[in-house]
Amino acid sequence: MEELCGLGAAASLRGEAEEPKQGSVLFLGGNEVKSSAVVKYSSAPPQAAFARLQEKTDLKLPPANWLRESAKLGPAGTTILGNNKKSKPFSSFGMAYDFIDSVGNDVDVVSDSENIKKLLKIPYSKSHVSMAVHRIGRTLLLDELDIQELFMRSSQTGDWTWLKEFYQRLIDQKWQRKKKSKEHWYQKAILSKFLYYSINGDGAAQPVPSTSKQHQEGPVSGESDEAGRASWPAPFEMPSSLSEDPGASNQGSVPLEPSYIVGHVASAPKEQNLTTLFNDGENSQGLKNDFVRNILWTFEDIHMLVGSNMPIFGGGRYPAVSLRLRDNNKPINVLTGIDYWLDNLICNVPELVMCFHVNGIVQKYEMIKTEDIPNLENSNFSTKVIKDIAQNILSFLKSNCTKEGHTYWLFKASGSDIVKLYDLTTLCEETEDKYQNPFTMPVAILLYKVACNMMLKKNQNKKHYGTIRTLLLNCLKLLDNGRHPQIIASANYMLSELFQLDEPKKEDSTDFPINGNSDESYSEEEEEMPDSDENGSYSNSSDPPDDNKAVAIIKSVGELSVPEKYKSVHRIRPSCAFPVCHGTEERCRLVLNYVLEGLKSVDSSVKKEGDLPAADPSTPIPLKYEDESTSGGPECLEKQMALFLDKMGSFQKGKHSSQSGMVPGSWQYKMKLQLILKSSKAYYVLSDAAMILQKYGRALRYIKLALQCHDTYCCLCASMLPEVLVFLCQCLTLCGDIQLMLAQNANNRAAYLEEYNYQTKEDQEILHSLHRESRCQVFAWATDLSTDLECQLSVSCKCYEAAYEILLFSNLKNQNPEQHIQVLKRMGNIRNEIGVFYMNQAAAVQTERVGNKNVSTTEQQLWKKSFSCFEEGIQNFESIDDATNAALLLCNTGRLMRICAQAHCATEGDFKREFSPEEALYYNKAIDYYLKALRSLGKRDVHPAVWDSVNWELSTTYFTMATLQQDYAPLSRKAQEQIEKEVSEAMMKSLKYCDVDTVSARQPLCQYRAATIHHRLASMYHSCLRNQVGDEHLRKQHRVLADLHYSKAVRLFQLLKDAPCEFLRVQLERVAFAEFQMASQNSSAGKLKTLFGALDIMAKTKSAFQLIRKELVAESEQGH
C-alpha cells in the first residue's frame, strides 16, 4: 500500500515520485463497482503511524506542536487544516500542466477530489454547486467557481460586473456575501488540534504555555479564513517571462527546443523542474499543482486525474488508514458516508479509523472497512447509484461542453433541484472583452502546452496533426497580440510546421479524416442538442424565458440516478480534421500565412519601430528589373560574387546585426529566425513547383523571395548551421536552373516578366518584415530578370559556383555527397551551355566576315572563352566520374576545333586555294578530342547514343579533312603521292568510324557517307591510273583498288534508293574506266569483253532513270 502522509503537501519535499500502485476491485454491498487508483505522484514524507489519543483527551486544548512546522507535515503544515482545505480555482490546470501527456487523450476528467465528491453528491445534497468546466480534446477540467469570492472581487476592482449582473438578474436578485458561522470555525479548530495530537506521538495532551493561548481561537480563525478563501488572479496578468523588454532577466532562459518556445513537457515527476515559458505566470495565477498526491483514478469506465490532500496514516496492523473525527451526538448521514467512501476509493485506502468525541472530549475509536461504509447505520447508499450518477454527469458535460477554449459554468442554486450549464465565454463576449474571464489565459496556455507536447513526440503520427492544429487555433482565438505576442508567434510557427514542405502531400483519405469543420474539434452535429424525446432534460423549450442563456439544463437532480439517462450518443473523435491541400502551392500558402502572423507578432513586440521608415503594406515593393542597356554583364557579376562570398565568410566569423534592434538571444530573435527560415523553405518549394510547371518567371520570383528571406536570416544569425548552409546551396542551385531555363526559352520573355513582377499582399507584408532587419540585396545579382542571354547564362553559372564555394569553405562536401555531385554536374552543364553559346557566336562572326582573310580578334576571344568553358566543364564531370557528359563536352571541344579550322581557310579564288597547315592543325586537334571522348566512354554499352554520335563526328572530321586535301591539294608543300597517301588514310579512317551496319536513324547517312568515300577513293585511283606511267605493279594495284571502290560505291548507292544521280555518276565513271582499260588492251576478245561489261553497267542504270522520271512527274504534277 502507498506510503502517504496526512495533513497536506510539504513544498520542500516535492519530487519524490512513488512507485504507482494498482488499486483493487472492491465488492460493496453485493454490487460490484470497479475502482482502481494509481498514484502518479506523491510528495508525502516517510509514512507515520497515528497516535491513538487517550480517552477523555480534551481537544479544545491545543497541543504543543499546534500550527508549527513538523518533519511529518513539512513547512506547509502550519497552514493546512486537513482535508478541508479549500481548492484553488485553477487547481486542475496545475495538475494538467504537470501531466500534459494525459490531457486530451486517455483522461476524462482532471479535478480536485473535493469537486468530484461534490458532483457525485448532487442528488443527495441541497447545497449549491458552482464549477468552471473547460474542455481540452476529450478531457474535461473541473474547478470550483466561488461566486461569493468572485463578486467580492468585483466589488473591489470592477471586474466580472457582467457576471454579477447576470447572476443577480437570473438567479439571486438579493445577493450578499454569507458569513461563516462560529460553529464552522469551532469544528475546524477541533479537527486541526485532533490531527496535531495524532501526530504528536505520545498520545497525551500537552497544553501550550499560557503565553501561546491566544492561538487557541484567533489564529485558527485567521488561518482558516485564508485557507478557505480562493486566491483569484486578476482577469489578465502578464507573466514576467512574457515581458516585452528584450533585456528582461529571464529572457535568455527561454528554451527553443527544438523549435518551439516551450521546452519538452513530460508527464514526469516534478523534480524535473520544467523550465517553461509560463512558470512565473503559473505561480502568479495560482496554477501551481500543490496537492499532496496526484492519482489516476479509474471508476468503472471513467478515467480521472485527481488531486487529493487527505491525511493517510499507516503502521502496525494497519498499513493505510484514513483518520476521521466525529461528534458522538451527531449520527453519520448519507453525505458524510459518501464523502468518506469516495475519499478512501480515490486514495485506495482499505480502512477508516473514526474517533468519536463529545464537546471536544475523546470518547472512543472505531475501525471501519471501506467496503462497509455504504452500509453504515443512517448512511446507507447504493454504490451502483453513485456509479450511475458519475456516468450521467460525465455524459451530460461531454455532450454540452463542446467548444475548446470556452469556459462553461455548471451551477445549481442552494435548495434547488435544477442544474444549469452556461457558456461564460459567449456571455462575456456579448458584454465585455474576453479578458474579463480570468480563465482565458490558463486555458490558452494549456491548449498551447498540449499541442506543443504532441509536436515534440518523436514518434508522432501525422494523424494527430488535425488535433494539434485545432488546439493551436483555439489557443489563438483566446489570445490578444498586444498581450501575448510570444505565444501567438510560437503557435503560428507550430501551425506552419504541421505542413510538410519537403515531401509530397498524400491526399489519401486514410491519412487525415476529411471534415468540413476543420476549425473546431467536433462536427456541427456533435454540438446540436439531442432530441427531447431521447433525453428530455436536454430540451429547454418548456423552460421559463429567464433560462434561455443556459446551454443545457438538468430539470431534476433525481434524473442523475437513472442508469444511462444521459448516456451520450456523441462520440468524441480521436483526431480532428486536417485541411486537405489540393496542391503544393495551396500548402505553401497556408504555411506562409501562419509565418506572416508569427512575424507580425514578433515585430509588434519589438519596441524600436520609430527608428524605421514607415512602410505601407498596401504599397508594392518594386522588384528590380535589370534592362539589357543597364546590365553590368559578367564582369559586374564577378564583383557581386566576390562580395557575396566575402559576406558568407563574415557570417562564419560571427558578425551579425539587426536593424530593428532585436537583442540576440531574446525570444523575438529566436522566433524570427525560425519563422524566416520556414518562409524561405516555403518559397523554395513554390519555386520548385513553378519550375516543374515551366512557369519560369514565377519560379524566379519565388526563389528571389526565398533568397531574400535567407539574406535576412544570415544578417541575424551569429553562426550558420550546416543544414541551413545546405539549404542555401539548394536555393542557389535552383536559381541557377531557373536562369538557365529562362535563357533557353527567350521567346516567352514577356510572359515571364509579367509573372516575375506579380506580387501578393502576403508576400509584400513578409518582405516588409524582412526589411526591418536587412536590405535583402545580397542575392540581387542572382535573382534579377535580365533580357541578355549571355548575362542569364553567366548568372546561372555564378549561382552554381556560389553553391559549390559554400560547400567547400563550410566543409560540407563530404557530409553531403549527393548535393556536391548535383552542383558539380550542373556546373559542368552550364559551362557546356556557355561554351556552345560562345562557339555559335564565333561561327556567326565567321559567316559575316566578307573579304577579310585574317581571323578577327573577336573570333579569337570567343574561341578562348568557349574553349575555357569546355575545359572547366570537362574537369567538373571528370571529378565526379561522369564519363558520358565528359565525352559530350570533349565532342563539343572537337567541334570548336573544326570551327577554328574552317576560319583559317583561304577566301581568295578557289583556283589558288590550298589546304593550309592551320586547317590541318585544328582538324587534328579535333580528332584528338573525339578520340579522348571515345576513350572516356570506353565502350558503346556505356551510352550507345553518345558513342554513335562521337563516332559520326570523328568520321565526319576525317572525311572533311580528306575531302579538303583532295579538292585543294597542298601541292606547293607536298608531293602528289604524299597527298594521295594522306587522303587515302583519312578516308579509310573515316570509313572505320562510319557504322553502316547498325540499324538507326543515322544509318542512311552513314551509308551515303561510305558510298561517297568509296566513290572518291575510286575516282582518285582512276585519276592516278590515267596520269601514272612507269611502275606496272603500282598501276595494277591502282586498277584493282579503283574497281573495288567503284563496286562498293555502287552497292551502297543502290541500297539508298534516294541517290539516283550519284548512282548514275558512279556508273558513268565505271564506263569511262572500262573504256580507259580497253584502250590499253591488244586482243579483240579482251576489248569485246570490256565493252560487254560497259554495256552491262549501263543496262543496270535503268532503275535510276525510273526513279528520276518518277520524281520529275511528281514535281510537274505539283507545278500544275
Q: Strands 109-112 and 31-33, how do they pair?
A: unpaired
Give the number of other Cβ atoms within 10 Å of residue 673's Cβ.
Answer: 22
Reported as a pLDDT band with limits 50, 70 and 90, residue 109 is: very high
Query: Where is average pLDDT lowest: 84-88, 256-260, 407-411?
Result: 256-260
| Predicted local confidence at residue 305, as pLDDT | 92
Kindly report which listed range (193-197, 453-457, 528-532) carries the lowest average pLDDT score: 528-532
**Number of Cβ atoms within 10 Å of the Cβ of 314:** 20
Report the pLDDT averaged over residues 685-701. Answer: 93
pLDDT score for 641 = 56
- For the cut 70, the answer to whether the pLDDT of residue 797 exceeds it is yes
Residue 259 has pLDDT above 50, yes or no: no
Q: What is the DSSP string of 894-939?
A: HHHHHHHHHHTS--S-GGG----HHHHHHHHHHHHHHHHHHHHH-S
> Please, which pLDDT band fits residue 432 given cuts at 50, 70 and 90?
low
In the predicted structure, residue 112 carries a pLDDT above the cut 70: yes
Q: What is the DSSP letter of 796?
A: H
Per-state percent for the chain, helix, strand, coil, to nearest 5: 55, 10, 35
Question: In this predicted structure, which of 154-158, 478-482, 942-946 has the lowest mean pLDDT?
Answer: 154-158
Is 514 within 8 Å of 699 (Cβ atoms)? no
pLDDT at 89: 67
Cα torsion angle, 744, 748, 750, 752, sign:
negative
Q: What is the pLDDT of residue 716?
A: 84
Query: Residue 648 has what pLDDT?
Result: 53
**What would you measure as the largest C-alpha separation in the chain, in angstroms?**
168
Is 84 a residue whose pLDDT tops 50?
A: no
Confidence of residue 404 (pLDDT cuts 50, 70, 90): confident
Evaluate whether 1081 touches 1114 at the Cβ level (below 8 Å). Answer: no
User: Could you tell me what percent of the chain has a pLDDT over 90?
Assistant: 19
Q: How many CB atoms lie within 10 A of CB 696?
A: 27
Contact 975, 1025 (CB under 8 A): no
Which letter does DSSP use for residue 552 in this model?
E
Of the listed ranges 178-182, 315-319, 545-549, the one predicted with least confidence? 545-549
pLDDT at 907 over 70: no
Query: What mean pLDDT comes out for the span 112-137?
Result: 89
How far is Cα 173 from Cα 164, in angstroms, rounded to an integer? 10
Each residue's pLDDT tens digit, 917-945 = 888 899 999 999 999 999 998 888 888 88
Q: What is the pLDDT of residues 1019-1043, one digit of tens each?
A: 787 777 777 666 777 777 777 887 7
- pLDDT tens digits, 283-340: 434 567 778 888 999 998 899 999 988 888 876 666 788 888 998 888 888 899 999 9
Which pLDDT tens digit goes with each residue over 854-888? 788 888 899 999 999 999 999 999 999 999 999 99
Q: pLDDT band at residue 33, thresholds of 50, 70 and 90?
A: confident
Q: 136 falls in which pLDDT band (50, 70, 90)?
A: confident
Residue 244 confidence class, pLDDT cut points 50, 70, 90: very low
Across the range 369-393, mean pLDDT stands at: 88
Contact status, residue 82 vs residue 311, Cβ threshold 8 Å: yes
Is 970:979 a contact under the CB 8 Å cutoff? Answer: yes
pLDDT at 379: 84
What single-letter DSSP state applies at residue 70? Answer: B
Give the model's confidence band at 21: pLDDT under 50 very low, under 70 low, under 90 confident, else very high.
very low
Q: Which residue has the cell 486542475?
A: 92
Q: What is the pLDDT of residue 216?
A: 37
What is the model's pLDDT at position 619? 53
pLDDT at 850: 64
The pLDDT of residue 27 is 42
**Amino acid 791: pLDDT:** 92
What pLDDT is attached to residue 910?
52
CB atoms within 10 A of CB 905: 15
Per cent of the chain over pLDDT 70 is 71
> 634: which DSSP letter?
H
- Quickly count: other Cβ atoms within 10 Å of residue 614's Cβ: 6
Q: Which of 677, 671, 675, 738 is nearest to 704 (CA)?
A: 738
Do residues 163 and 424 touch, judged by C-beta distance below 8 A? Answer: yes
pLDDT of residue 1044: 84
Cα radius of gyration (the chain):
47
The tens digit of pLDDT for each residue in 980-1031 reads 888 888 888 888 888 887 787 878 888 888 888 887 888 787 777 777 666 7
Q: Report residue 891's pLDDT band, with 50, 70 and 90 as the boundaries.
A: very high
Pair 151, 167: CB distance under 8 Å: yes
pLDDT (mean) for 568-589: 62
**Which pLDDT score, from 0 to 100, does residue 831 have?**
94
Confidence at residue 645, expressed as pLDDT on a 0 to 100 scale? 57
Count, in order, helices (H) and strands (E) of the chain: 34, 17
Query: Which residues are CB-contacts of 1118 (< 8 A; sequence separation ≥ 6)?
Result: none
pLDDT confidence band for 851 (50 / 70 / 90): low
Residue-wise pLDDT tens digits, 819-838: 889 999 999 999 999 999 99
